[in-house]
Structure 1
Amino acid sequence: MTPALENYALGRWVAGTGQQQELYDASTGDVIATASSDGLDYAEMMHYARTNGNKALRKMTFHERGRMIKALALHLDSKKEDFYTLSYRSGATRADSWIDIEGGIGNLFANASLRRKFPDKPFYVDGDPIALSKGGNFIGHHIMVPKEGVAVHINAYNFPIWGMLEKIAVNLLAGMPAIVKPAVPTAYLTEAVVREIIASKILPEGALQLVCGTGQGILDHVTYQDVVTFTGSAETGRKLKAHPRILAKAVPFNMEADSLNSAVLGPEAVPGTVEFDLFIKEVRKEMTAKAGQKCTAIRRIIVPENLLEDVQIALGKALAQTTIGHPQAEGVRMGALAGMAQVQKVRQQVQELAKNTPIVYGDLDNVQVIGGNCKVGAFMSPIVLLNSEPFRFTDTHEVEAFGPVATLMPYHDVDEAITLSNMGKGSLVCSVATSDPRTAQEFVLGAATHHGRILVLNEEVAKESTGHGSPLPLLIHGGPGRAGGGQEMGGVRGVEHFMQRVAIQGSPSMITAITEVYQQNAKQIEKDKHPFQHYFEELEIGQTYVTHKHTVTEADISNFANVSGDNFYAHVDATSLEGTLFTGGWRTATIF
């Protein structure tokens, strides 16, 4: 009997009660599980998360939350081989799965370490105090506190583990619980990880719930204290963003959508240069990793017109080395797409693109497969199209084939390269391979308005670059326009997305009491006991010790210069400032 995935709701594992949706092995076409979310009470799930998970997490300090996330990362890392075994069924090779599994766990580790950027308190003091009065007795400040709701994460099928872990790592550090809704085709991987998380008992009750089915109606009960995040197609994202409840309750909605990312070859990166080789390697990797099913994959290859043929030949040779087949078969470097439905959709998109931009590498109808059957498995050849007139045939900048597909196109100068890259109408990432700092600056400043991240590739980063398609926990992941207009991760920036910033005004003493950070002009606490006689726990914010007054003379300055070696003329010569904008003032000083 085919196993049914279970949802984790209200502190227990439950199966959906209605129509079961079948999930398939991407390489063999076998049914491996079914899923349904029918029967779940989303209103009750959100209430449970707010009253249990939220309250527990809000009471914890950032450091406590960070250590909790680290413990979770260590636990999942000890179980990762189980996830690898299951991940093969999604069509992913071990290298592909590494991105999903260990990339996701790495996000937990990174956010656990991020706790050091925050105080050991449940809230965060943001920025510097602001003087609001001439006398200094009325000031303003900003603090951030966790929202009182739940983070609802609606994720894509291509990264069922990373997609969940990179998001919950941030909301947990911020102090919010989560309800995760993975895409159904690969939900079995998300369920396996959530089972381990729940079994570990590391998270407080209500901190994490899981919906494995369609999740129909999940947004009907969100409020302004909740946060909704979405990863997937731009079309679906726009529909969800326009949900009546999202609009009526002003619910924060963060969207990260698939985009037509580009890679640009600099004019000086000719064949034989390190930059040319890096460019070809990066394009090949981004076309074939996860069978091109990455929101950051390179879709448009923009190269100098005089190098178009060189790039086409070099890329063809690189792609010819890509063996395709069952991810567990020896020697396979590219596995299957997530399912036959995805193959059909990509084929249709390529056929649309090929009306004006011919296929110059690959075959839609034929693919050699190792250890699998292309009739039942979701296998596909890498496809390269050529758009020799990219300003005329603009489908290249409109239609995305979400698979191992990219379009090659020429540019005349750097300004044209910028224009072509920006014609994607907003992308998650683009890259430029160049050894010329002037080219790099011109391109980055011209393309920055249309991209969430820009990678500059040259010989200096060849050994250490994480690559075009690797979003990193401490950098923002998102982009304008077609890419959704949102931002995920980004270190402290990502944590702030799940917190409420509030401006506070008052006297320095009151702001000191609220923030637990001493503010200038606040009341000072004087005690008779010497500070060295206090235990750390006895010290109070604002506790002050005033020593005897002492006048610093020129002799003291000279003696200090002899001891420290600081003989800079402006520090020791009383006449050095004469005739300048600066006047004396340093000659004597009174300190306390």
Structure 2
Amino acid sequence: MRLQNYALGQWVEGTGKFTELFHAVTGEKVAEASSAGLDFRGMAEYARTVGGPALRRLTFHQRARMLKALAVYLTERKTEFYKVSEATGATKGDHWIDIDGGIGTLFAYASRGRREFPDETFYVDGPTEALSKGGTFVGRHVCVPLEGVAVHINAFNFPVWGMLEKLAVSLLAGVPCIVKPATVTSFLTESVFRAMIASGILPNGSVQLICGSAGDLLDHLGMQDAVAFTGSASTGRMLRQTESIVEHNVRFNQEADSLNYSMLGPDARPGSDEFDLFVKEVAREMTVKAGQKCTAIRRTIVPAPMVDDVIQALRARLGGVKVGDPRVEGVRMGPLAGRGQVGEVDRSLRALLGATELVYGGPGSLDVVGADAERGAFFPITLLYDDDPFEKRAPHDVEAFGPVNTVMPYDTVDEAIELAKLGKGSLVGSLFTADDRVARDVALGTAAYHGRLMLVNRHSAKESTGHGSPLPHLVHGGPGRAGGGEEMGGVRGVLHYMQRTAIQGSPSTLAAVTREWTKGAAELSDRVHPFRKHFEELAVGETWHTHRRTVTEADVTNFAGISGDFFYAHVDDIAARTSIFERRVAHGYFVLSAAAGLFVDPAPGPVLANYGLEGLRFVKPVYIGDTIQVRLTCKSKTAKDDREGQVPQGVVAWDVEVTNQDAEPVAVYTVLTLVRRLYTLDGKPYDRPAAVATPEVFVTEQPGTAPARMT
């Protein structure tokens, strides 16, 4: 089977000499690949001119729905992908990590895209910054998609997850992608990519695929483009030095293989839960994906008195792992991805053997079930021991990218921390201890050298996702040898593909740009109470100034009785005089309740429910006898997805400011309400229908003045 590339909107077969790809278990040829003849410059330009504009026309919410639809489509075809994945040597568990894990990342970003990003084509980052004394000149930060192409260069060990975790963030950001998988396992990437194209879900030009060499693609990148690379540190260094990348300061995110550690705490003695969990995790990370994980444990750091116990326990556990054809019942570890990897791991192991003692497995120990060890890409599980890790440094410098791990002793926690640092930067470290003081020392002592730290005890172990499992919620990357980059991490991963720009101007101008009202911007008023309006009828900036209410002693006493809050500053006149308030004050939550009573329209209407409250600050005390008033302003609107059987609705964020008789703010916050929509989304951009009239509004340009509201 000849793999095809997907370029310029069509499937294209390469030319010239093809690279043969082999079944990792049987050694039989399964495919051949070539990218010769592709117009790499044209592919980059096609992404910029066709895919980029199509994606940027969509809002975050539309792109999130696109990711969800794609995830659902791929989920329905997982069994087809599992079959293809068998040729990579993957076990059933390996299938789940790579294929299900990749699809799960699409689902995760589909959810985050609708929950944490606005229904806009841009993202407002952070609050308004005051830049002038009078408040007429302010600043904000907006993030917009790069107007280039994201080139994704992926490693051989995760042909599906590696592709989908990068696509999830860049497509959500609105940036088109060119995917370049490692050739040796590109047959699996191509099968999933082919399904993605067949789905018809992604806009034209949003994704392209190269099965083979990337040719001169990187030479055609410019300042609006980005590269995300996963692979060896040496290859990453070479790619970073590409002239175009250096000249145009192309964003280059690198995630490289690293010498990750797992540490046993001094309290976790043999027989403890933490000891058993540690041994289980080390053995699992050595054998999952045959140790071909950039996050796999390479250095196992244990208290010196427990070295023999750990080695003995690991021998027993590793001895029960059958190596062979994953299709055979009972086999728990398959081969490496290809014969080329066998040679590389063997060379690294021989370098390690010069500085360590072989304590399990190693050359000549391979016993393969259901397959021919000479034809397949099998490698023996190997455990080493470094008795002097501060002097014998090979385990801190050489990585055997397979089922190879080195145990090393420490005498004190400070020594263990120093050993962890000797890896010169890693993707992940883990610690197994029931002593939270040790956990704190190790976490803070090693964090500067690691992208992620997993701290495990008997309480978290049951739900722990494991040492070697990057999650879309958290950053995946690390400093130094690990590449110095970050992937995923929720919003952070998406913003990598966006330009953050500071904008300055008047509050009204910035509100017009961001479609988010900010204090000092023009207020819009109408004779109709805003709670009487449907979602479509509300305008951002629409403001309601309430009548006033004077706080009485009876209010404070009654609220104390209802709430059970008898804090002395509210109810004890003598104690209150010696407090920071100097006299009795109203409860902060009474002020909120009274404010709601002032601005809420009580009759049934389009407002369905209070959805939440954010950013609450009590900025000045309210005393008995003070008179409060509320300004309620529509800050922003977000339409929610339609759900069967549910009233069409949207979320309206209201900026609330409670002031006293001197017009001084006493409480500020944002209230979220669910508001009925007149029209459904139907999976399309939500616009105000022509049939809905724009409300008659009156603009108040000067902040702080009363709006010209008609009565």
Q: Which amino acid aligns with 2:624?
A: R
Q: Which secondary structure state, in structure 2, belongs to the residue aligned with residue 324 of structure 1?
A: strand
Deviation at 1:563, TM superposition (A): 4.2
Equivalence for 2:508: 509
2:390 maps to which residue? Answer: 391
Greater Cα offset, 141-150 or 475-484: 141-150
Match of 2:293, SS state, is coil
Are 2:214 and 1:215 equivalent residues in the alignment?
yes
Aligned match for 1:589, one of 626, 647, 663:
626
- The answer to which structure, 1 or 2, has the higher relative contact order (CA under 8 A, 6+ apart) is 1
Higher alpha-carbon deviation: 564-573 or 4-13: 564-573
Quick one: which of 91, 94, 102 aligns to 1:96? 94
Query: How far did 1:419 drift?
Result: 0.4
Determine the structure 2 residue equivalent to 1:58. Answer: 56
Matched with 1:337 is 336
Q: Secondary structure at the match of 1:189?
A: helix
Q: Which amino acid aligns with 2:45?
A: H
What's the counterpart of residue 82 of structure 2? 84
Q: Secondary structure at the match of 2:416?
A: helix
Higher strand share: 2
Q: Hey, what's the Cα distance between the residues in 2 that align with 1:285 and 1:540?
A: 56
Which residue identity is paired with 1:284?
A
- 1:560 and 1:399 map into 2 onto residues whose CA distance is 68
The answer as to whether partners of 2:569 and 2:579 remain within 8 angstroms in 1 is: no
Partner of 1:353: 352
2:109 to 108, 111, 114: 111
Give the aligned partner of residue 488 of structure 2: 489
Following superposition, the deviation at residue 586 of structure 1 comes to 1.2
Q: Which residue matches 1:411?
A: 410
CA distance in 2: counterparts of 1:543 and 1:574, whole angstroms: 41
Query: Are the counterparts in 1 of residues 477 and 484 from structure 2 also a CA contact under 8 Å?
Result: yes
Question: Which residue of the partner structure matches residue 316 of structure 2?
Answer: 317
Tell whether the 8 Å contact from 2:180 to 2:211 is kept in structure 1 after alignment: yes
| Deviation for aligned residue 1:562 | 4.1
Partners in 1 of 2:545 and 2:316 — Cα distance? 76
In 2, Cα distance between equivalents of 1:279 and 1:182? 33
Give the alignment's TM-score, normalised by structure 2.
0.82
Which amino acid in structure 2 is aligned with residue 231 of structure 1?
T
Residue in 1 aligned with 2:634? none
Q: Is the 8 A contact 1:9 1:45 kept in 2?
A: yes
What are the Cα deviations for residues 1-60 of structure 1, in whole angstroms up to 9, with x where unaligned?
A: xx1100000110001112101111111111111101111111111111111111111111
Structure 2 residue identity aligned to 1:589: D
Structure 1 residue 557, shift from structure 2 partner: 3.0
Counterpart secondary structure, 2:426: coil
The change in CA–CA distance for 1:366 and 1:547 in structure 2 (over 3 A counts) is: closer
The residue that corresponds to 2:591 in the other structure is none
| Higher alpha-carbon Rg | 2
Instruction: State whether residues 227 and 251 of structure 2, in contact with CA within 8 Å, keep that contact through their aligned partners in structure 1.
Output: yes
Distance in 2, Cα, partners of 1:475 & 1:257 = 17
Mind listing any 5+ residue stretches in structure 1 that lack a counterpart?
none
Matched with 1:19 is: 17
CA distance in 2, matches of 1:330, 1:566: 64
1:157–1:186 contact (8 Å) kept in structure 2: yes
1:63, 1:118 within 8 Å by CA — same for their partners in 2? Answer: yes
- Partners of 2:557 and 2:289 lie apart in 1 by 68
CA–CA distance in structure 2, aligned partners of residues 564 and 279 of structure 1: 48
Distance in 2, Cα, partners of 1:470 & 1:162: 11
1:374 matched to which residue of 2? 373
1:288 aligns with 2:263: no
Partner SS state of residue 53, structure 2? helix
Residues of 2 paired with 1:411 and 1:144: CA distance?
47
Do 2:263 and 2:301's aligned partners in 1 also have CA atoms closer than 8 Å? yes
CA contact (8 A) 1:100 1:161 kept: yes
In structure 1, C-alpha distance between the alignment counterparts of 2:54 and 2:300, rounded to whole Å: 49
**2:193 is aligned with 1:198:** no
Q: CA deviation at 1:139?
A: 1.1
**C-alpha distance after superposition, 1:64-96 (max 9, x if no partner):** 111110110010000000111111101111111
CA deviations on 1:340-369 (whole Å, 9 max, x unpaired) are 111011111111110121211103124111
SS in 1 for 2:459: helix
Aligned with 2:69 (options 61, 68, 71): 71
**Distance in 1 separating the partners of 2:190 and 2:155:** 14
Q: How many angstroms apart in 2 are the aligned matches of 1:28 and 1:550? A: 82
Letter in 1 for 2:219: D
What amino acid sits opposite 1:248 in the alignment? Answer: E
Q: Which runs of 5+ in 2 are unaligned?
A: 584-621, 630-711
Alignment of 1:169-208 (within 5 A): 169-208=168-207
* Deviation at residue 296 of structure 1 after TM alignment: 0.3
TM norm structure 1: 0.98
